[in-house]
Amino acid sequence: MGILTYLLGFILIFNITLGISIIFLERKDASSTWAWLMVLLFIPIAGFFLYLIFGKPISKRRIFTWDTKVRLGVKTAVQSQLRALEEERFIFKHKNITKYEDLIYLHLRNDDAIFTQHNKVEIFTDGEEKFNALIQDMEKATDHIHLLYYIIRSDRLGKRIADVLIKKVNEGVEVRLLYDDMGSRRVSRKYIKRLRNAGAHVEAFFPSRIPKVNFKINYRNHRKLAIIDGKVGYIGGFNIGDEYLGGSKKFGYWRDTHLRVFGDAVRDMQTRYILDWNQASRNDILYDERYYAADPAGDVGVQIVSSGPDSDWEQIKNGYIKMIMSAKEYIYIQTPYYIPDESLRDALRIAALSGVDVKIMIPNKPDHPFVYWATLSNVGDLLEAGAEVYIYQNGFLHAKTIVVDGEIASVGTANIDVRSFRLNFEVNAFLYDESLAESLLEAFNEDIKLSTQMTKKLYDERSLGIRFKESISRLISPVL
């Protein structure tokens, strides 16, 4: 009895000490603080280890040293564009874009995201089509190939990509591959060694000192970028692996959205890549004009917007909210996870209550169970406000798209959840173009045909078991 008393006393003191650290020393937001305190209360010992894996912050000074923007001249270009907007000297190619000048200004101020107007953008919603196009563009490369993916598998698609990269290295093309060490933890060492031995430059973002064992769940690079010869760029949701071609028995068809970009915006994608590469590698990419060889193409307005834990601002989330609050007619959203914070939740509810047609589409199956149940819990608030919720049935929905009023849209890597907004590195293309917005709207409507609608009546008839799972998941959602 005495030993048990001492043990309980030790656990109590330990939990109180850790709780004080979370509240007073690390300055987390209130919802995250309460979530971790609940974890410590209900699972005291295991909760400590969960906190070390999921919750422990890492000093930004130790892992974030972004200084390349100054060297690449980004700051100067941003200040010049800001002054032109402030002095009403900026010339828009399409007059209807002027109504979104405040959104453009926000991204300039908030993220140094330069607004470009000479772009051509192609949309992919199928993995086979996206990777066929990417491989064809890599086959044509004459100077360099820059790839950044959160997940790389050493499966058939991964091998196909590696074969092309090795072939291009042998042709004298400079090849760089950057992958996230956690997301790509299942990629084989043999795969990476083969690329390096061939002469490709390969780096892991935020790697663990122990191969294949990485407890650093937060601060992951969730971006997906490809830039070939500085002329064409890819950005969106597809990772490299057979499952993204629909080759997974668990998920079936993989529905995602990706963009192929020509024009001035490729320069901004290249800058994003160079920033990330220089953070992960000891061999910095220095400024060279050949990396910025994009020619003007088309007339699509684009801003490449990044966000991550290296900033106190949640740039992509702020862009989402600004888009939502600008809506007059409709807001269509596709996201695999819907776990918004209070600000974004309120923005969508206010829009729906104001008569804006709000539709959101989510998957019918989980790739992360707690996240899935938290998503189902959160859509109830939208149903209460009059929004329509659709459950995609034709495989797994992984697209991260927002379309507003047939004029602006966003496609990229950021989910609607705390992890994307605060803990991971993300990148989105904000698009100012009626034809692209219309194409994304058509894709959404085609997906509705493959979905079932979650009505208020069906939602209210959920079983007690489902409600219990949702309640637990929603309670811990700030730390998912």
Asked if residue 154 lies in contact with residue 187, where contact means CB atoms within 8 angstroms, the answer is yes
224 classed as catalytic: yes
- Identify whether 111 is part of a domain: no
- Identify whether 89 is part of a domain: no
Q: What is the pLDDT of residue 201?
A: 98
In this structure, the answer to whether residues 274 and 350 fall within a common structural domain is: no
- Identify whether 114 is part of a domain: no
> Among the three residues 11, 40, 57, which one is the final residue of a domain in this structure?
57
Confidence of residue 50 (pLDDT cuts 50, 70, 90): low
Whether residue 38 has pLDDT greater than 70: no
DSSP letters for 67-124: -HHHHTTHHHHHHHHHHHHHTT-PPPSSGGGGGGHHHHHHHHHHH---EE--EEEEEE
The whole-chain average pLDDT of the chain stands at: 88
* Residues 280-334 pLDDT 10s: 998 999 889 999 999 999 999 999 999 998 887 899 999 999 999 999 999 999 9
> Among the three residues 270, 298, 326, which one is the final residue of a domain in this structure?
298
- Other CB atoms within a 10 A radius of the CB of residue 328 amount to 12
- Identify whether 96 is part of a domain: no
In this structure, the answer to whether residues 280 and 321 fall within a common structural domain is: no
Confidence of residue 48 (pLDDT cuts 50, 70, 90): low
Q: Are strands 357-363 and 338-339 parallel, antiparallel or unpaired?
A: unpaired
Domain harbouring 379, CATH code: 3.30.870.10
Q: What element of type H or E holds 263? A: strand 258-263
Helices 315-326 & 342-353 angle (0-180, nearest 10):
10
Q: What is the pLDDT of residue 42?
A: 61
SS3 241: coil
- Identify whether 223 is part of a domain: yes
- For the whole model, what pTM was predicted? 0.88
Kindly provide the residue ranges of all beta strands, DSSP E only, lying in 308-348, ordered along the sequence: 330-334, 338-339
Whether residue 212 has pLDDT greater than 90: no
Q: What is the pLDDT of residue 16?
A: 60
Which position among 118, 130, 144, 224 bears the catalytic label?
Answer: 224
In this structure, the answer to whether residues 254 and 319 fall within a common structural domain is: no
> Among the three residues 272, 298, 324, which one is the final residue of a domain in this structure?
298
- Identify whether 62 is part of a domain: no
SS3 3: helix
DSSP letters for 389-417: EEEE-SSEE---EEEETTTEEEEES--EE
Q: What element of type H or E holds 458? A: helix 456-460
Q: What is the pLDDT of residue 20?
A: 57
Nearest in space to 327 (alpha carbons), one of 301, 304, 353: 353
Q: What is the pLDDT of residue 460?
A: 86
- Identify whether 221 is part of a domain: yes
In this structure, the answer to whether residues 263 and 357 fall within a common structural domain is: no
Nearest in space to 228 (alpha carbons), one of 281, 294, 179: 294
396 - beta bridge partners?
Answer: 254
* Residues 441-474 pLDDT 10s: 999 999 999 999 999 898 888 888 777 766 666 6
Kindly calculate the radius of gyration of the chain based on its CA atoms and give it in whole angstroms.
Answer: 23
229 classed as catalytic: yes
In this structure, the answer to whether residues 369 and 329 fall within a common structural domain is: yes
Lowest pLDDT segment from 43-57, 210-224, 344-358, 434-448: 43-57
Structural domains in the chain (count): 3
Whether residue 61 has pLDDT greater than 50: no
Confidence of residue 224 (pLDDT cuts 50, 70, 90): very high
Whether residue 250 has pLDDT greater than 70: yes
- Identify whether 243 is part of a domain: yes
In this structure, the answer to whether residues 136 and 263 fall within a common structural domain is: yes
Percent residues over pLDDT 70 in the chain: 81
Q: Identify the domain containing residue 17 by its residue range.
A: 2-57
In this structure, the answer to whether residues 327 and 456 fall within a common structural domain is: yes
Q: How far apart are CA 402 and CA 414, in angstroms?
A: 11
Q: What is the pLDDT of residue 178?
A: 98
SS3 204: strand
In this structure, the answer to whether residues 283 and 319 fall within a common structural domain is: no
In this structure, the answer to whether residues 242 and 362 fall within a common structural domain is: no
Average pLDDT over residues 23-44: 57
- Other CB atoms within a 10 A radius of the CB of residue 274 amount to 24
In this structure, the answer to whether residues 424 and 294 fall within a common structural domain is: no
In this structure, the answer to whether residues 11 and 137 fall within a common structural domain is: no
* Residues 353-396 pLDDT 10s: 999 999 999 999 867 767 777 888 889 989 999 999 999 999 99
Residue type, 281: S
Which position among 130, 258, 400, 469 bears the catalytic label?
Answer: 400
* Residues 170-198 pLDDT 10s: 999 999 999 999 999 999 999 999 999 99
Q: How far apart are CA 404 and CA 325, in angstroms?
A: 10
Q: What is the pLDDT of residue 311?
A: 83
* Residues 411-436 pLDDT 10s: 999 999 988 998 899 999 999 999 99
Q: What is the pLDDT of residue 23?
A: 47
In this structure, the answer to whether residues 201 and 243 fall within a common structural domain is: yes
Q: What is the pLDDT of residue 193?
A: 97
368 classed as catalytic: no
Q: How far apart are CA 177 and CA 73, in angstroms?
A: 24
End-to-end CA distance of the chain: 37
**Residue 36: φ, ψ to 5°:** -70, -35
207-214: long-range contacts, CB 8 A cutoff, minimum separation 24: 207/181, 208/181, 212/185, 214/181, 214/182, 214/185
Asked if residue 206 lies in contact with residue 180, where contact means CB atoms within 8 angstroms, the answer is yes
Q: How far apart are CA 283 and CA 197, in angstroms?
A: 17
Q: What is the pLDDT of residue 70?
A: 53
Percent residues over pLDDT 90 in the chain: 68
28 classed as catalytic: no
